[in-house]
């Protein structure tokens, strides 16, 4: 069962949702033990679907794609009069889910990032949500998994008793992971991007005012220029140009993608 009210933004179907609705969807799936794929998608993640038809297919078969970036929220408001007052920011959504999971007794599992980041994250979780049940934490292998490794990983997560799985592999690997593991894990799988290092305190977040006006990308670019310059110098202008074409009805962006020819098994 998918979340309601998706809007086509450059051919990628984004949900016009907010934190409350997203959380309700996550916990309904956790209670019902349904495997659902969820991502908080910013411009970079959306553009991976624009330029890759197989990735577009994956994204458009997600159960929930929340507008993580302000420019994605603005697009929904511009094109569909969604009247969204805020984005659904991955790190903030993760915090909200952890808070509710602590009170409701939902065990959570974190997969991805490095042992160092997970160690810091565990300390932060124990300090902020001392009663949150940590079913497990496992770092990324930073390579493709074998079929056997996928099955073993899925079995470890199932055996942990987790109700909710957070995945922090970076975009687009984490969305591929959520798409490919949804059928073997009966729980919500959330691709939450940089939430792991942000919550762990390993990376400084942009000031709130920069986030509110859509300038978080600039803060991150200045903080990590070597890693991020290509993403923002090329993708942001391309996004704005294509969005203008869609808004002016000069170009149509079909949501049909191409069914993946193989599993990528990112881990």
Give the tokens for residue 75: 């697009």
Q: What's the pLDDT band for 137 if we cut at 50, 70, 90?
A: very high
Sort 171 into a burial class: Cβ within 10 Å, 0-12 / 13-18 / 19+: buried
32/226 Cα distance (integer angstroms): 44
For residue range 209-251, list pLDDT tens digits in order. Answer: 777 777 777 767 677 777 766 777 788 899 999 999 999 999 9
Residue 127 confidence (pLDDT) above 70: yes
Looking at every residue in the chain, the average pLDDT score rounds to 93
Strands 6-9 and 164-168, bridge-based pairing = unpaired
Side-chain half-sphere exposure of 105, counting CA atoms within 13 A? 1
**Model pLDDT for residues 58-91, shown as the tens digit of each residue:** 999 999 999 998 999 999 999 999 999 999 999 9
Asked if residues 188 and 26 have their Cβ atoms less than 8 Å apart, the reply is: yes
CB atoms within 10 A of CB 91: 19
**In the numeric block, which tokens belong to residue 67?**
């507008």
pLDDT of 98 above 60:
yes
The domains located in the chain, with CATH, are 6-200 (3.40.50)
| Predicted pLDDT of residue 232 | 72
Which candidate, 113, 172, 181, 171, places its Cα nearest to that of 142? 113
The answer to whether 59 and 41 are in contact (CB under 8 A) is yes
To the nearest whole percent, how much of the chain has pLDDT over 90?
A: 84
pLDDT at 2 over 60: no
The alpha helices in the chain, defined as continuous H runs, are: 19-32, 43-51, 53-59, 70-80, 90-104, 115-128, 147-159, 173-181, 195-200, 208-212, 216-223, 225-247
pLDDT, residue 225, reads 77
Q: What is the pLDDT of residues 256-267, one digit of tens each?
A: 999 999 999 999
Taking the C-alpha atoms of residue 180 and residue 204, their distance in angstroms, rounded to an integer, is: 31
Residue 49 backbone zone (phi > 0: left; psi -120 to 50: alpha; other: beta): alpha
Rounded to whole angstroms, the Cα distance separating 193 from 191 reads: 6
Contacts for 224 with CB less than 8 Å, ≥ 6 apart: none
């Amino acid at each position: 069962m998918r979340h309601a009210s998706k809007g086509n933004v450059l051919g990628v179907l984004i949900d016009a949702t907010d934190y409350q609705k997203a959380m309700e969807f996550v916990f309904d799936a956790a209670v019902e033990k349904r495997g659902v794929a969820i991502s908080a998608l910013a411009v970079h993640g959306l553009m991976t679907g624009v330029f890759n038809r197989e990735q577009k297919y994956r994204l458009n078969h997600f159960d929930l794609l929340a507008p993580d970036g302000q420019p994605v929220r603005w697009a929904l408001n511009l094109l569909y009069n969604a009247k969204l007052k805020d984005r659904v920011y991955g790190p903030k959504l993760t915090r909200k889910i952890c808070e509710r999971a602590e009170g409701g007794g939902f065990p959570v599992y974190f997969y991805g990032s490095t042992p160092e980041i997970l160690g810091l994250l565990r300390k932060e979780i124990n300090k902020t949500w001392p009663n949150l049940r940590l079913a497990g934490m496992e770092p990324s292998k930073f390579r493709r998994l074998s079929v056997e490794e996928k099955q073993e990983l899925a079995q470890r997560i199932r055996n942990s008793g987790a109700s909710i799985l957070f995945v922090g592999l970076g975009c687009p690997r984490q969305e591929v992971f959520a798409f490919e593991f949804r059928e073997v894990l009966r729980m919500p799988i959330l691709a939450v991007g940089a939430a792991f290092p942000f919550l762990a305190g390993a990376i400084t977040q942009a000031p709130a005012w920069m986030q509110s006006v859509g300038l978080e990308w600039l803060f991150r670019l200045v903080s990590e220029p070597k890693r991020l310059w290509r993403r923002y110098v090329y993708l942001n202008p391309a996004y704005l140009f294509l969005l203008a074409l869609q808004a002016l009805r000069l170009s149509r962006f079909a949501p049909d993608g191409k069914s993946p020819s193989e599993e990528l098994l990112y881990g």
